[in-house]
Amino acid sequence: MSQATCSVCTGTLVQTSPSTWECRTPDCVGGVQRFTCGFCRAPSFSLRKRSCINPDCRTHGLVREPCPTCNNFSVVTLDGISFCINRGCPAVAGSIGTCPICQTKSLIRTARYTVCVKSTCATLLKPVAFTSITTSPKPVAAPDKPAALAQKVTDRIAKPAASASPDPPSGNAAPDRTPAGPNGTATSKSDEAKPSTQTADDLDPWGMTRGIDLATIPQGPSASPSSPVPPPAAPVPPQTSPVPPIIAPAPPLLPPVPESAPASLATVPAPPVPVEPAPAGWGRPVVLPDQPPAPWPPVTPAQSVVSPAPSPAAPVVDQVASPRPADRLPDAPAPPPPGIAPAPPATPDPSAPEKPDLAAELRRAATASDIEHAWEFLLRTVLANDEQELAPIVLVFGLAGSGKSTYLTMLGEILTHGAGKYHFPYPGVAVRSLHVDTLVDEHLGPATPAELRARLRRRIRDLCFDFAEKNYNEFLVNGAWVPATVRETGGEAAHSFFLLSELIQGGAVLGRIVTIETSGEDFQEVLRRLGTTRNADELESPLHRVLYRLVDAATGIAVLLDPGSHDNDQQYSGLLRIIKEEIEPRAAHALAKTVDARLAAGVKAGAAATEPGATATFAAAVLDETERKRREELAARERRALAEQLREAQSSLAATASSHQALAAFAARHGPFMAEIEQLARTSVPELAAQADSLFAEHGRNAGSWIRFYQALLKHLANREAFEKILDLRVEVAMGRSREAGGLVKRILDEQGLPDTGQITEQFLARWKGRPTGRRFERLRHLALVVTKSDRHPIVYPPSDYPKFKLPMCWTHLAALEAYLGLLGGGMRYYNATAIGYAVQRGHQYGPGPGNSFTPVNIVEPLLDVLLAEAV
Amino acid sequence: MIRPEDFVEIPAGPFLLGMDYPDVAEPLRRLDQARCLGLGAVLAGTPGRWVDLPAYAIMPRMVTNGEYQEFWNARHPGDPTLALVDDPEIWEYVWSLHPLDQVRVPSPEAGLVLTESYAGCTSALDALVRSHAYEAQRQLLGHHLPPSEPGFDGLSRAVVRTYAVLRRGLARSIWRDEPLLDPGQIESLAGVSRDEVLQELGRVVVAIQERLPPGTAKKVPLLIVLDRLRIGLEAGDGIHLSAAEIFRPLFWADAAPRPSSTRSVGSLFSDAVKWSDLPVVGVSLYESAAFAAWLRISLGQPVLLANEAEYEKAFGWSLDGGELTAARKHIFPWQGRSPHDFNQWFSKDGSSIATFEARAKAYHKLLDDTARQIDGRSLHQGLGFGWQWTRERFDDRERKYIRFEHAGCLRRQVAGRTVFEYRDCTDQGCAFFAVRGAPYQLGGPGTVTRRFALYPLRGYAECGLRCVIGAAGEV
């Protein structure tokens, strides 16, 4: 009998028949009995959960009930319609058509939509309404069946591990347990990924209560110590007032409020700033070797790579408080709040050898491997500037056979020769040699022991003038490919090493290319563990730990795809899913900041968002659907608040004497409130204005008149009908702002050319003003999919279509990922690349032609596009 | 049959060879940047240089299987019992046009770069045989043994003897007079029976096959030729062989129109393009030059293979007149008629040229869509249908057309521009020959400026030929 590993408990699965398996763990959440899933072909369909429990399966979590006709677990419910997805089932035999995407006869037509059930199709189980595939005009969505609902179902399928399973947990299943990853290691959805506590923003995602209970809300940009939180401000008055306010003395008592924006928003920086700012500090002048290096802050041993891992309970880095926290060294001390002077560096003795701490630490860390030493050294020296900020790191990532070594060789060759030999559209950009010995002298001092120096030397090589030059002259120019990198087995030879290069432009460091040359098998292992391991120290191999940290620290990742491999989709879909989930909160937060900024500047939602056609978009649909709920919540809160404010105002007014001092004291406390309800009352009770006019005409504009007017106003509001009217108006004003913000979401996405996937809108709604909680890929802003060997394998053109046709599982994550990276100031790029342009058949194999016939395409672009984007 | 009037005439005059990226039409540059095509990388090796060319006429399409077959089956005018390609004169002629001396060939198997010597060869056929012997040695032994070295043992002896048999068998096609066998070959062939030769040939073939990945043997030229040698030895007298049988195009099953290639056959009821209408591929430079020589005799015209500039001018230079500006240069033959780039036509969705060849209508539409129009006539197959041999050598020491910067390069001033006289690269120190055009599958876009270099003694599945009639062909 065959055995396999349970996706949930990592226990043993024993095959009991060709299609059935049993989990040997008695209390396994997935139940004992399993079937082979028809979609992922893994023994992961749980009879207990009636769904596939493989997190990488595209139907993960989708409940499949038994079909009475074909007797398979194949009846699913999508958008309220249940149907059998077994193409062989007689019940659906008459409603199957050809899918326009995968060209397979797998399109099932239901009452309202069609859906493809081919496991490899990019649109698997995504309901497609008839309106979108026919030309006849039909209503976009009936009110009771909004597009949002269908999208939610689709999203649930598309991001199986991110969303909770739709079916309730059965038996002793723990609702927060997550199925195991591909390696069988059980994981749990930690609080890092999802906020576990309900914040004020969760209750009030639109921030309508910010003027009331700011103290409970996570601090945004306006809440930093340098810009103190303003006192609770009055709710927004109506933007236009047809009649001048009756209460003349009130305005001087009110804080200056920008029109159409609440006071709390007035402190948000001015728009438009749709993306996070580019990193600063890497355009600094080149440090010449004869210049003394800057004092080096001491490294905290407990946080070093060569020492025990950082505590998982480390505080979450707040993107808002520090504009570029992700660009800081992981172990570097957090910057002091603005306005507070930073602590002096701990290198006061100029006679002492410079940076002795790092050298000593590297020497002391006897248990760490060479490769970890090298990483630590690079992290603390080459990659960090004087402010302990990390340089942009672009990692070249590729599985075995993807052509990494050849790619890196040509990359170094092009960087070395530049426009003199190749196409190099980066004027002024040059490469500077980085010798390990020079770096050691510069950063550790000339007295560095030879043994440590040698260990670093064997693990750090110059990309251009060492690695690439040697490989180019030894192999490529002689018609041979660069040999595949040998996997390290612990012997003396160092087959894995860092490749380093420094790009300069106009005398300043543009960026440093740091990547690692290692076997594709190592990348594959790390790729497999990325989804299930939340701490690099859990990995056994030092090389894998370093690779893991490098992936986590990368600003950009260039993923090399071998078009001849059939495993790409399976291998990378997990990585893309994890990245998507991890950066989702950051992206939503970045969007919220932009919306905030625009609202503060009084930028209205664009016409595009409010045009009739625009209302059919998913963003609008989600907003409509949630508006009712939000309105109810808001009305309940406002009712309590209004009643309380009225009571307080009445009691204060009752104790107020008819004097200017007493009136001023009353206005200081209740002025904004009274001004607001006066304006609201004007629109709802026209006779009130007449009463006020006659009052002031009779008694003059003195304190007594004002007090009498206030009494009349409050008395009027004591009437239930008037109270409800004012409450409605007040809620309406607040909801107007909400709608405006919702329109802005759509507009910002439109402006940046980002797809409105629905997920970003949902994330935005859920996390607006929330704190970004993602802890991994904190610096990641760029992702490049580089399809290599395009001279030997049929390409897909344009390359952005490659995932659609060749990576259907990855494709389900890419639209959202593209939007997220765009919101974070980066983006997603696609390239068809070739290192040499054309490989000629020689005997039974293909090889490079003469050196000067090479036409490398898209070799430097994936990296330099990132570095330049970061440098701008 | 090819007729002189089918050739498309290109008038004399200067044109822009190569292209600088900033001179590319703005819409194409925008497309390039939006889709990361890599146009700049492709153009980088061929910056714009104004060069002068005399008038010439170029074939409107690549040479087809049918046309090439006509040449290969042609009989000798003086001896109808003899195939034209068995006449040593034609091979001596093409060898005199493109002699080789030494070739440095990489041997990835051995991690070496080996030098092949063709100094003693008197004809292209002799060089072809020697080239195969060198390759067999590389494959089996990892190094070269001088063919004259006596006293081989084991496999090396079998290799030397096998190719000595081949050389002796083709002697009537290689030499006009008596065979010029090496002493070592004479020694190794002494007293050897046909059965022994076939036995050793079998050993060599098996040994080579063992070194190849499974399923690749049928595509390896070395084994294809050895298999033809076996058939020739078994069928004939065991001594004399026909060049027509041994060195016919690689993917022809035999001289009759029954191709074994992946290219479609076509039939009476098939919708596929007829095999005879598809470009011939798998012919070496010398076999291509031999075709041009035959055409020269048949048409009575100075026919040659095209050179690089002739190809590029025909497919990339607007003949509508006007000033000498880069705007008249097109990097795609269809530029001006269609906004598409290379990959919009070729290899767009992961398909191969075979998908077009299987449907004649689609194939002919592709031909028309990608053709260049000159005076109402169409020049077909400029890009995407395969590399095309040129008569020029590829100088691997040159990058970015630095040859024009040499003081010895003749030049004149035309309309304020320096126009260089274009001369074929014939430096015998350069062993590779330039090819133009582009195969269907290519890294980056194919452009009319794009060059590649191929070893001239082999046929390639993605390389055909095209001829010109011009002053350079006059002897």
Read off the pLDDT of residues A391-421 as tens digits, 9 standing for 90 and up.
Answer: 788 889 888 888 999 999 999 999 999 988 9
Of A132 and A777, the one with more pLDDT: A777
pLDDT (0 to 100) of residue A270: 32
Cα gap B18→B422, rounded to integer Å: 13
Q: Are A837 and B442 in contact (CB under 8 A)?
A: yes
8 Å CB contact of A480 and B394: no
Given a cut of 80, whether residue A365 has pLDDT beyond it is no
Q: What is the mean pLDDT of residues A680-685?
A: 72
Q: Are A586 and A775 in contact (CB under 8 A)?
A: no
Given a cut of 80, whether residue A222 has pLDDT beyond it is no
Given a cut of 90, whether residue A761 has pLDDT beyond it is no
Cα gap A539→A519, rounded to integer Å: 17
Enter the tokens of residue B13.
């005059």
Query: pLDDT digits over A372-395, tens only?
Result: 888 888 888 877 766 667 778 888
8 Å CB contact of A845 and B443: no
Query: Which of B212, B450, B454 lies closest to A840 in CB terms?
Result: B454
CA B117 vs CA A36, A841, B120, B431: distances in Å? 63, 22, 8, 11
Query: Which of A479, A797, A843 lies closest to B222 in CB terms?
Result: A843
- Sheet hosting strand A782-787, strand order edge to edge: A394-398, A556-561, A782-787, A827-832
DSSP symbols for B375-421: TTEEE--SSSSEEEEEEEEE-TT--TTGGGGSTTS-EEEETTEEEEE
Cα gap A260→A737, rounded to integer Å: 9
pLDDT (0 to 100) of residue B21: 95
Q: What is the mean pLDDT of residues A524-531?
A: 83
Cis peptide before A330 (omega within 30 of 0): no
pLDDT-derived band at A53 (thresholds 50, 70, 90) equals confident
Q: In Å, how far is A580's CA from the nearest CA of chain B?
A: 24
Give chain A's radius of gyration (CA, Å).
32
Q: In Å, how far is B439's CA from the nearest CA of chain A?
A: 9
Q: Which residues of B touch A855 (CB under 8 A)?
A: 38, 41-42, 44-45, 443-444, 450
Under DSSP, the state recorded for A842 is E
Mutation site for B-interface testing, chosen from A785, A806, A857, A860 by largest number of B Cβ within 10 Å: A857
Q: In Å, how far is B302's CA from the nearest CA of chain A?
A: 30
Q: In Å, how far is A465's CA from the nearest CA of chain B?
A: 21
Cα gap A254→A710, rounded to integer Å: 17
Query: Which of B217, B442, B454 lies closest to A791 in CB terms?
Result: B442
Query: pLDDT digits over A306-318, tens only?
Result: 333 333 332 222 2
Q: What is the mean pLDDT of residues A173-193?
A: 35
Enter the tokens of residue A498.
């860092």
Cα gap A442→A419, rounded to integer Å: 31
Q: Which residues of A touch B20 (CB under 8 A)?
A: none
A418 touches chain B (CB under 8 A): no
Of A121 and A603, the one with more pLDDT: A121
Query: Which of B43, B351, B453 lies closest to A849 in CB terms?
Result: B453
Q: Are B10 and B313 in contact (CB under 8 A)?
A: yes
Element (H, E) at A372: helix A370-377
Strand pairing class (B56-58; B432-438) = unpaired
Give pLDDT tens digits along chain B (475 positions): 789 999 999 999 999 999 999 999 999 999 999 889 999 999 999 999 999 999 999 999 999 999 999 999 898 888 888 889 999 999 999 999 999 988 887 766 556 677 888 988 889 999 999 999 888 888 777 665 554 444 445 567 788 888 888 988 898 899 887 666 666 666 667 677 888 888 889 988 988 888 888 777 777 889 999 999 999 888 877 778 889 889 888 878 654 444 444 444 545 567 888 888 999 999 999 999 999 999 999 999 999 999 999 999 999 999 987 888 999 999 999 998 999 999 999 988 777 888 888 888 999 999 999 999 998 899 999 999 999 999 999 998 888 999 998 878 888 988 889 999 999 999 888 989 999 999 999 999 999 999 999 999 999 989 999 999 987 766 5
φ and ψ at residue A642, rounded to 5 degrees: -65, -45
B216 touches chain A (CB under 8 A): yes
Q: Are A21 and A37 in contact (CB under 8 A)?
A: no
* Per-window interface: A 799-858 vs B, CB < 8 A: 799-800, 805-806, 829-834, 836-838, 840-845, 847, 849-853, 855-858
Under DSSP, the state recorded for B45 is T
pLDDT-derived band at A737 (thresholds 50, 70, 90) equals low
Given a cut of 60, whether residue A499 has pLDDT beyond it is yes
Q: Which residues of A touch B222 (CB under 8 A)?
A: 843
Cα gap B403→B411, rounded to integer Å: 12
Q: Name the residue with tokens 């008037």.
A: A722
Given a cut of 70, whether residue A140 has pLDDT beyond it is no
* Nearest by Cα to B94 from B288, B290, B246: B290
Element (H, E) at A840: strand A839-842
Q: Are A180 and A10 in contact (CB under 8 A)?
A: yes
Strand pairing class (A556-561; A782-787) = parallel
Q: Name the residue with tokens 């005409």.
A: A697
Of the candidate CATH numbers 3.40.50, 1.10.3470, 3.30.1400, 3.90.1580, the domain formed by B4-64+288-473 belongs to: 3.90.1580
φ and ψ at residue A522, rounded to 5 degrees: -65, -40
Enter the tokens of residue A308.
């025990």
CA B159 vs CA A328, B129, B203, B237: distances in Å? 65, 12, 9, 21
Of A471 and A448, the one with more pLDDT: A471
Q: Name the residue with tokens 């040659």.
A: B304
Q: Name the residue with tokens 């393009």.
A: B273
Query: Which of B36, B111, B220 lies closest to A831 in CB terms?
Result: B36
8 Å CB contact of B21 and A423: yes
Query: pLDDT digits over A691-722, tens only?
Result: 777 777 777 777 777 888 888 888 887 788 87
Conformational region of residue B384, where left means phi above 0, alpha means psi within -120 to 50, and beta covers everything else = left
Report percent pLDDT > 70 for chain A. 63
With b for 16 or more beta-carbon neighbours within 10 A and e for fewer, the B178-188 pattern comes to eeebbebbebb
φ and ψ at residue A30, rounded to 5 degrees: -80, 0
8 Å CB contact of B443 and A834: yes
* Per-window interface: A 781-810 vs B, CB < 8 A: 789-800, 805-806
Given a cut of 70, whether residue A199 has pLDDT beyond it is no
Query: Which of A423, A795, A799 lies closest to B44 in CB terms?
Result: A423
3-state secondary structure labels for all residues of A91-144: CCHHHEECCCCCCCCCEEECCCEEEECCCCCCCECCCEEHHHHCCCCCCCCCCC
Enter the tokens of residue A656.
């107020």
DSSP, collapsed to helix, strand or coil, labels residue A242 as coil
Of B193 and A850, the one with more pLDDT: A850
Q: Are A496 and A517 in contact (CB under 8 A)?
A: yes
Report percent pLDDT > 90 for chain A. 9
Given a cut of 60, whether residue A254 has pLDDT beyond it is no
Mean pLDDT of chain A: 68
Q: In Å, how far is B360's CA from the nearest CA of chain A?
A: 21
Angle at A276 between CA A272 and CA A277, to 5 degrees: 90
B453 touches chain A (CB under 8 A): yes
B215 touches chain A (CB under 8 A): no
Q: Which segment, A2-16, A126-140, A561-575, A747-761, is predicted with the most confidence on average?
A: A561-575
Sequence ranges of the domains in chain B = 4-64+288-473, 79-254
Q: Are B108 and A481 in contact (CB under 8 A)?
A: yes
* Nearest by Cα to A830 from A864, A861, A794, A793: A861
Enter the tokens of residue B355.
């998908």
* Per-window interface: A 452-481 vs B, CB < 8 A: 478-481
pLDDT (0 to 100) of residue A428: 85
* Nearest by Cα to B381 from B435, B328, B443, B334: B334
Domain annotation for chain A: domains and CATH numbers: 201-267+622-736 (no CATH), 301-337+352-587+774-871 (3.40.50.300)
